[in-house]
Amino acid sequence: MTRTEIAGWGNFPKVEANVQNPKSELEGKKTHETLSNYIPRGAGRSYGDAALGAQVLDSRKMCDTIDFNLKEGIFTCQAGKMLEDVLDEIVPNGYFLPVTPGTKFVTIGGMIAADVHGKNHHIDGCFSKHLLWFRIMTANANIVTCSKTENTELFWATCGGMGLTGVILEAAFTLKSIETSKVKNRTLRCVNLDDTIEGLLQNESYTYSVAWVDCTSQEKKLGRSLLYLGEHATNSDIPDANLSQYRTKSPKLNVPFNFPSWMLNNQTASIFNALYYSKVREEDFSSIVGLDEYFYPLDVVKNWNRLYGSSGFVQYQVVIPIDKAKEGMRAILSKVAETKEKPKLAVLKLFGEQNDGWLSFPQRGIQIALDFRKNEQSFSLMNQLDDLVLKLKGRAYLAKDSRMKRSFFEAGYPKLGAFKQLLSQIDPNGKFRSLQSTRLGITMGAKNVLILGANSDIGKEIGNQFSSNGFGLMLAVRNPKNENEILFDATDFDSHASFVEGLKIVPDVIVVAFGVLPDTKESFERPNMAVDSTLVNYTGVVSILGHLSKVFAQRGSGTIIGVSSVAGDRGRGSNYIYGSAKAGMSTYLDGLRNFLVPKGVHVITVKPGFVNTKMTRDLKLPKLLTASSEQVGAEVYRAYEKKLNTVYILPVWRLIMLAVGSIPEFIFKKMNL
Ligand SMILES: Cc1cc2nc3c(=O)[nH]c(=O)nc-3n(C[C@H](O)[C@H](O)[C@H](O)COP(=O)(O)OP(=O)(O)OC[C@H]3O[C@@H](n4cnc5c(N)ncnc54)[C@H](O)[C@@H]3O)c2cc1C
């Protein structure tokens, strides 16, 4: 097991995870038995948080070829095998994958779990269409064989089910015969969006089609593109084509580190898009290209995701049903054209009919994929695009997602109810869960934490810790900026009852992380200021926890965590206003703990000591006695797991406060503390 930071291809979000790398099915089973919950992972090429969690089973060491039936064109392997390695075995023997994503650095397990599609969905469907069977280890550690005739429900829930039904161990799939390792490519210049969509629809007989759209074009040129149409070249096209040398010969480029995010800005994107569009001068241009160049052009640049900088990027990939496709694409591209944060890449593809996969993404229509830098502007734009897509009955692809809201996801996938129903039978405790499944409320048994004051540095870090341990987050803040945040005002006591009634779910854990640090001298001069801060730091806590603890007591379970302070352990002249409110809060929490014991509710008092936060940035804090907000997050989660009563984040503070508490008052008075 290794503890390391992992992310998807978009480099957002990133989490610290315990990663297990079993080398065999037996080891995989043992790992399965030791973990309370986890998510299977392949090559981590999904863009967002589908393969992220606190515990991860990396399948890539279970990667043997089991059988290659040359005569019938059937390949059987362990699910951790990379597509790149499958190609090395099959292409020299005259076969290719019937469906391939736009990168070969994925595993077969990942391809099944996302039910990937290629440039030929309108002809050949998703990968599941060519899948004969797979073996999967489910939550109860049973290994089940699934196909279109055996355990069919589990088969269709797993294809597109993003690893939530179990660990796919082995799979068998049919291959496509090819005569050469080349593709006959035809490139059409489309002058605007209508031209692009007509081009896709009128050329539906081509096996492969994809439109690269100049996403910086506007007005009359909006949606102009290069439309690529392709067929595998035959022996009659290229008589002496050598199948064994199919790999691209161009030198591998590498992006060695994260670029500063400003480098890939709107200007550089405009230049790139304009140059790309003008690289083909003819209206209709034909060429012969290699398989790598045609199917995996981006793979030539290793780590190209680093071009977006350390904050990462998001691919917004949605499909709009065919009858609304033109209207939808126009609305999306127009919205994008009028906003500041431009996507850097845009691709349109035509989809064929929806298959039987319960969470499989493609449906008859046109899909668009837009790559955005991850920042506030792009998130706000994508939220607006979601509203458009929702109205047009479209949906987003889970394999690319790291941000969509639960309501948007739920509206797009009509078979989600059946999927959840199946999970409640085969995995009632949510053994398989990812950050994504928790965020979108798919996983059974996932717990939720309500953070009051979620925008404080400490609140954010506590949220990160709980989230990376599989908790769903309910973020309560004074100024909500998006639909994921709930309005909460600590001093609007009259609103607290309705705040609690309005919660969509009763959380499992509540964290009180709000508070203010008043200036003592100013509060002395202006007693109203002292009252105001005390209303937040003490009365607000008593009020909101009064309502919430009743709900917990009625249910008979839950944990309340209050972030108090060492300042409450003894009154000091330099911060007596803040300290007295925190003393009240600590005593309140201690008493509440004892009161709630018989009702099955646990209360934890947290006393952080000095912490580097926005609230303390003007204070000179001694390094050795100062914790980071990350440390607070980690310690609070540990206290939750261990069911501690009172925690000092840095243990030295317990000793310090013991010593401070035992100084006789007549000496203390002279110490000017
Ligand atoms: C450059 C690029 C181009 C792409 N183009 C396309 C495209 O054209 N079409 C398309 O459909 N997708 C495309 N993708 C997305 C990619 O194909 C999918 O995200 C695929 O799932 C990644 O496989 P992986 O092995 O990296 O899986 P991961 O990213 O590691 O995991 C993806 C999902 O699969 C699950 N999973 C992985 N292994 C197993 C297993 N053994 N058992 C159970 N569940 C498992 C994980 O839990 C997770 O939910 C592209 C991605 C990139 C980076």
Residue 483 binned pLDDT confidence (cut-offs 50, 70, 90)? low
Distance (Å, whole) CA 271 – CA 335: 21
Atom index in ligand 1 nearest the CA of residue 167 equals: 42
Residue 263 binned pLDDT confidence (cut-offs 50, 70, 90)? low
Q: Are 469 and 431 in contact (CB under 8 A)?
A: no
- Position 250 pLDDT exceeds 70: no
Greatest mean pLDDT among 170-184, 281-295, 402-416: 170-184
- What pLDDT, on a 0 to 100 scale, did the predictor assign at position 623? 86
Q: How far is the centre of ligand 1, averaged over its atoms, from the C-alpha of 296 (Å)?
A: 15
Asked if the bond preceding 13 is cis, omega within 30° of 0, the reply is yes
- What pLDDT, on a 0 to 100 scale, did the predictor assign at position 505? 78
Q: How far is the centre of ligand 1, averaged over its atoms, from the C-alpha of 572 (Å)?
A: 57
- Position 262 pLDDT exceeds 70: no
In sign, the C-alpha dihedral spanning 537, 538, 540, 546 is positive
- What pLDDT, on a 0 to 100 scale, did the predictor assign at position 259? 72
Q: How far is the centre of ligand 1, averaged over its atoms, from the C-alpha of 84 (Å)?
A: 13
Distance (Å, whole) CA 493 – CA 535: 10
Ligand 1 probe mutation, 41, 168, 438, 440, most atoms within 8 A of CB: 41
Take atom 48 of ligand 1 and give the residue whose Cα is closest: 51
Residue 466 binned pLDDT confidence (cut-offs 50, 70, 90)? confident
Q: Which amino acid is at 66?
A: I
- Position 470 pLDDT exceeds 80: no
Is residue 103 in contact with ligand 1, taking CB distance under 6 Å?
yes
> What one-character-per-residue DSSP string does 461-504 give?
HHHHHHHHTTPEEEEEESS--STTEEE--TT-GGGHHHHHHT-S
- Position 251 pLDDT exceeds 60: no
Q: What is the pLDDT of residues 570-599, one digit of tens each?
A: 999 999 999 999 999 999 999 999 999 999
The residue-averaged pLDDT of 288-307 equals 92
- What pLDDT, on a 0 to 100 scale, did the predictor assign at position 273? 73
**ipTM greater than 0.85, yes or no?**
yes
Q: How far is the centre of ligand 1, averaged over its atoms, from the C-alpha of 430 (Å)?
A: 21
**In terms of pLDDT, which residue wins out, 78 or 275?**
78
Domain 2-177 and domain 182-404 have a common topology: no
CATH 3.40.50.720 fits domain 447-668: yes
Which residues, 6 or more positions from 198, have their beta carbon under 8 angstroms from its beta carbon?
A: none
Residue 406 binned pLDDT confidence (cut-offs 50, 70, 90)? confident
The residue-averaged pLDDT of 623-646 equals 93
- What pLDDT, on a 0 to 100 scale, did the predictor assign at position 394? 98
Distance (Å, whole) CA 100 – CA 88: 14
Q: Is 284 exposed, middle or buried (0-12, 13-18, 19+ CB in 10 A)?
A: exposed
- Domain residue extents for the chain: 2-177, 182-404, 447-668
Distance (Å, whole) CA 331 – CA 221: 14
406 CB neighbour count, 10 Å cutoff = 15
Is residue 167 in contact with ligand 1, taking CB distance under 6 Å?
yes
- What pLDDT, on a 0 to 100 scale, did the predictor assign at position 399? 98
Q: How far is the centre of ligand 1, averaged over its atoms, from the C-alpha of 88 (Å)?
A: 19
The residue-averaged pLDDT of 395-403 equals 97
* Topology given in CATH for the domain delimited by 2-177: 3.30.465
Distance (Å, whole) CA 570 – CA 583: 8
Q: What is the pLDDT of residues 598-622, one digit of tens each?
A: 999 999 999 999 998 877 777 788 8
Distance (Å, whole) CA 583 – CA 578: 9
* Average pLDDT of the residues of the chain: 93
The residue-averaged pLDDT of 173-185 equals 96
CATH 3.30.70.2520 fits domain 182-404: yes
SS (H, E, C) 120-177: CHHHHCCHHHHEEEEEEECCCCCEEEEECCCCHHHHHHHCCCCCCCCEEEEEEEECEE
Indicate the DSSP class of residue 206: S
- What pLDDT, on a 0 to 100 scale, did the predictor assign at position 373? 92
Is residue 77 in contact with ligand 1, taking CB distance under 6 Å?
no
- What pLDDT, on a 0 to 100 scale, did the predictor assign at position 629? 87
Take atom 19 of ligand 1 and give the residue whose Cα is closest: 46
- What pLDDT, on a 0 to 100 scale, did the predictor assign at position 249? 61
3-state secondary structure of 92: helix
Specify the range with the lowest mean pLDDT, choosing from 328-337, 418-427, 619-628.
619-628
- What pLDDT, on a 0 to 100 scale, did the predictor assign at position 441? 85
Match 């060492």 to its residue by tokens: 566
599 CB neighbour count, 10 Å cutoff = 15
- What pLDDT, on a 0 to 100 scale, did the predictor assign at position 80? 98
- Position 513 pLDDT exceeds 60: yes
Is residue 63 in contact with ligand 1, taking CB distance under 6 Å?
no
Residue 481 binned pLDDT confidence (cut-offs 50, 70, 90)? confident
Q: Which two tokens stand for residue 303?
A: 């780590």
Is residue 164 in contact with ligand 1, taking CB distance under 6 Å?
no
3-state helix, strand, coil in the chain (%, to 5): 40, 25, 40
Atom index in ligand 1 nearest the CA of residue 80 equals: 41
Q: How far is the centre of ligand 1, averaged over its atoms, from the C-alpha of 42 (Å)?
A: 7
- What pLDDT, on a 0 to 100 scale, did the predictor assign at position 518? 95
- What pLDDT, on a 0 to 100 scale, did the predictor assign at position 447? 83
- What pLDDT, on a 0 to 100 scale, did the predictor assign at position 222? 93
In sign, the C-alpha dihedral spanning 655, 657, 660, 665 is negative
Distance (Å, whole) CA 70 – CA 92: 11
Specify the range with the lowest mean pLDDT, choosing from 239-248, 368-377, 433-442.
239-248
572 CB neighbour count, 10 Å cutoff = 16
- What pLDDT, on a 0 to 100 scale, did the predictor assign at position 560? 98
